[in-house]
Chains A and B, each alone.
Chain A
Amino acid sequence: MSERRAGEDILRVEGLRVEVRTDRGPGPVLVDDVSFSLRRGEVIGLIGESGAGKSTIGLTALGYTRNGCFITGGRIDFEGRDIRQMSAAERRALRGPGVAYIAQSAAASFNPAMTLFEQICEIPVLHGVMAAAEAKTEAIRLFRELDLPEPEKFGNRYPHQVSGGQLQRAMAAMAMAARPDILVFDEPTTALDVTTQVEVLAAFRTLIREHRTAAIYITHDLAVVAQIADHIMVLRFGKMVEYGPAAQILAAPREDYTRRLVADRVAGHDFRALRTVGEPPLLRVSNVVASYRSLLRVIDDVSVEVSRGDTVAVVGESGSGKSTLARVIIGLLPRESGDIRFRGESLPPQLARRSKDQLRRIQMIYQMPDVALNPNQTLLEIIGRPVQFYFGRPRAEVRARVLELLRMMDLPEAFIARKPAELSGGQKQRVGIARALAAEPDLIICDEVTSALDQLVGEEILRLLKRLQDELGIAYLFITHDLGTVRRIANKVAVMLKGRLVAGGDTATVFAPPYHPYTELLLSSVPEMRRDWLDEVLARRGETLKAVRDAQIRLAS
């Protein structure tokens, strides 16, 4: 594309409207009256919860809408020309050299049957921007820029031969292949582990800055966008809530919705419980070892204690064994050695050996409320069954108890006859909590209970759990990867790495210096709202990573 003076608008979107149209007439409006502009070298962050229309807007910049969606209003000017008026051939010429796209899941977006070189080089070659040899040299240069291993040979690999973080960066290389003017990033780090996210984010930022490429950065995480965007647009239900310079949105949001998003992320509520002293612990997990099919050891010598009224968080990245620990405690995966004592007595390893009372006193809430509730049962059956099963109450009392629990969950009583499909995600999670409470447990294990929910909905669930703890004195064991939440809700924490416990104790102690190196790595990887956060992290990154490696070697030996 032609070189132009920096500072001129390269993309200008005005009054954009996107609707779903089906055979049976118009459907919902996905994007309604959205306007923004983008200059060369500038980054705009689109932020919002699911259903906000962020991805839809991002795709329209490429003149693309998903099946059944249509742009029904407004203009999208790329270098002064309306994309909507372009012919199919012109639009095709735009995609790649003009605007390029980086998707959330690189694993799904790369063709499994082609090598990375083939998929990257075909763009500049087919668009006539470069010859094949030149395209390959360019790809290798991009690989090097993106810190990918063995840049010369990296492109000969197939997508499945490359790790998730590397593949995400390879997709950035693919997008840059034809030197586009605009990059559209669609939640590019959401699927990654928090420690991987930092490197990928840094690589993206360097890329944009070096090439002075304009970018649309789509995410649900304000802290991520704070590191990379010059302007931020907050979206909700397809409409603009607030649009302005990043510094202003983060420091002095005008709209109430934005304020809530920012406030929860920055400070949030302190949910930490005060620990009751003197009592023996409710649950004591000591030196537990467990493995799948007695081959792969997933939990190795782990000890955790939970007292009445405690909130204990078990944190770690995917594959750390934190969810397995929950399954071992609950008895779904029998431990091989070690002991689990609950209320002073040892719990049998197998589920089948446990007494009804032992089962009742430990309940669990799941990550995906969709699969945790039987779609064929009404809420009366779902919540009422534990009441009937554990306490053998007559039907009328069961019903009264379910109604009481619904009220506690702030759910309307009329929901008693509904089935899960008629509920929203947050409401389903409340039903999951009500079902756990129906057993009147001492301990509830919460397995990533907010990670499938939108930020504000998840926040409400946390608030509800806190209120229940204050009222009923239940202890929580929180399995989570979200350290931001842990800091606010847990009075004790256990940090897991590859099946082992690397740090544990009071949150205040574990999360304060001197840290265990891995705790430091995790903590430092959680994006913060401060705009210079990423630079600070990167400055210390090398040291932290080296310390973790040393610690791992010590653990292994």
Chain B
Amino acid sequence: MRLFGHRVPLTALIGLAIIAINVVAAVGAPLIAPYDQAAVLGDAWADPTPQYVLGLDDLGRDLFSRLIYGARMSIGLAFVVTCLSFAIGIVTGFAGAVLRGWVDMLLSRIVDLLLSMPTLIFAFIVLSVLGTALPVLIVTIAILDSTKVFRLARALAMNIAALEYVEVARVRGEGLWWVIRREIFPNAVAPLVAEFGLRFSFAFLFIAALSFLGLGVQPPAADWGSMVRDYRDMINLDAMAPLYPAGAIAILTIGVNFVVDWMLAVHSRGHGEGA
């Protein structure tokens, strides 16, 4: 199969399929899920039946339906965080690379500072004071994550700006905005798209981890991470319950990584020596 003129390997196809299924589940949760996520339908931990394919959970709610609604929360949150982090990272990164001087210095030092600690630890510190309301969670993770986008966007813009075709445009007398929009940005898109995938899977795993630790999404709302936390004691009774949401997290991440891997390979082939 080919896509945008590139051969798509099997792993990337699987990845694309996984992403598509997850997105459909997230968007159409109320239509697809057989039951409401909050509806109590029977005894706690009832075994799977054809009616309740994965059984019921600790409060007697349908596990499968909750899994589908969980997709909505997990994917939606991660998507919003990634978009925000990209908006911040690209604007600041390009600004640093193009404006240079004190703007670049200041931005780079701030980013160095934010990266002087593991992201999780930093998040802990902020959450310990501000609490775990969703907006706090989103903004905190987005800002922490935007440091990585900043570095990539800045490096890309710097590398491209040093190329002669950009020099040609500058010597022609083109304005700064035109140079960024027409000469630099189009050549930075491919690596940035791949980075979006990477950042998404990072934000997704990060939010899930926080939720699993009880510091992310708070009840009654639930994402996959908090579901793992809610069901974790059942593992000692040999139940599958915590493995479903945890598996869902893993599968989506694998899918995204498959696609990112392929995009990076295509990108490096397009610019390499063709070896």
Q: How far is the CA of A377 from the CA of B182 in the complex (A)?
A: 9
Binary contact readout A311-322 vs B (1 if CB under 8 angstroms, 0 otherwise): 000000000000
Contact A376 B187 (CB under 8 A): yes
Which of chain A's residues has its CB closest to B186's CB? A376
Residues 365-388 of chain A, each 1 if its beta carbon lies under 8 Å from chain B, else 0: 010100111111100000001100
**B233 at interface, CB cutoff 8 A:** no
The answer, among B173, B182, B275, for a CB contact under 8 Å with A359, is B173
Q: How far is the CB of B85 from chain A (nearest CB, A)?
A: 25
- Chain B residue nearest to A372 (CB atoms) is B164
* A residues at B contact (CB < 8 Å): 67, 330-332, 351, 354, 356, 359-360, 364, 366, 368, 371-377, 385-386, 389-390, 421, 435, 439
CA distance A200 to B270 in the complex (A): 38
Within 8 Å CB of B187, what residues of A?
Answer: 374-376
Q: Which residues of B contact A368 (CB under 8 A)?
A: 164
Of residues 161 through 185 on chain B, the ones whose CB sits less than 8 Å from some CB of chain A are 163-165, 167-168, 170-174, 182-183
In the assembled complex, 10 residue pairs joining A and B whose CB atoms fall closer than 8 Å, in A order, are: A330-B171, A354-B173, A360-B173, A366-B164, A366-B168, A372-B164, A373-B165, A374-B186, A389-B173, A435-B168
Asked if A364 and B174 make an inter-chain contact with CB atoms under 8 angstroms apart, the answer reads no
Which of A354, A359, A372, A390 is B165 in contact with, Cβ under 8 Å? Answer: A372
Provide the residues of chain B in CB contact with A376, threshold 8 Å. 186-187
Q: In the assembled complex, which residues on chain B have CB atoms less than 8 Å from the CB atom of A421?
A: 270
- CB within 8 A of A351: which of B165, B171, B183? B171
Q: Please, which residues of chain B bring their CB within 8 A of the CB of A364?
A: 168, 171
Please give the number of chain B residues whose Cβ is less than 8 angstroms from any Cβ of chain A in the complex: 16
- Assess the B163–A371 pair: CB atoms within 8 A: yes
CA gap between A375 and B160 in the complex, in Å: 11
Q: How far is the CA of A435 from the CA of B275 in the complex (A)?
A: 31
B171's partner among A67, A331, A385 (CB-CB below 8 A) is: A331
* Chain A residues, CB < 8 A from B163: 371
CA distance A274 to B88 in the complex (A): 59
- Please give, as numbers and ranges, the residues of chain A lying within 8 Å of B174 by CB-CB distance: 389
Q: Do A356 and B168 touch (CB < 8 A)?
A: no
- CB of A320 to closest CB in B, whole Å: 20
The smallest C-beta distance from A483 to any residue of chain B, in angstroms, reads 25
Within the complex, the shortest CB–CB distance from A499 to chain B, in Å, comes to 22
Cβ 8 A contact of A372, one of B168, B170, B172, B182 = B168
Give the shortest distance, in Å, between A52 (CB) and chain B (any CB).
18
Contact A351 B164 (CB under 8 A): no
Closest 10 CB pairs of A and B: A372-B164, A376-B186, A374-B165, A359-B173, A371-B164, A371-B163, A366-B164, A356-B173, A376-B187, A372-B165
Q: How far is the CB of A350 from chain B (nearest CB, A)?
A: 12
Separation of A390 and B169 alpha carbons in the complex (Å)? 12
Nearest neighbor of A354 in chain B, beta-carbon distance: B173
Given A374-B187, A376-B187, A332 and B167 touching (CB < 8 A)? yes
Is the CB–CB distance between B164 and A359 below 8 Å? no
Known interface pairs A376-B186, A376-B187. Does A332 touch B165 (Cβ–Cβ under 8 Å)?
no
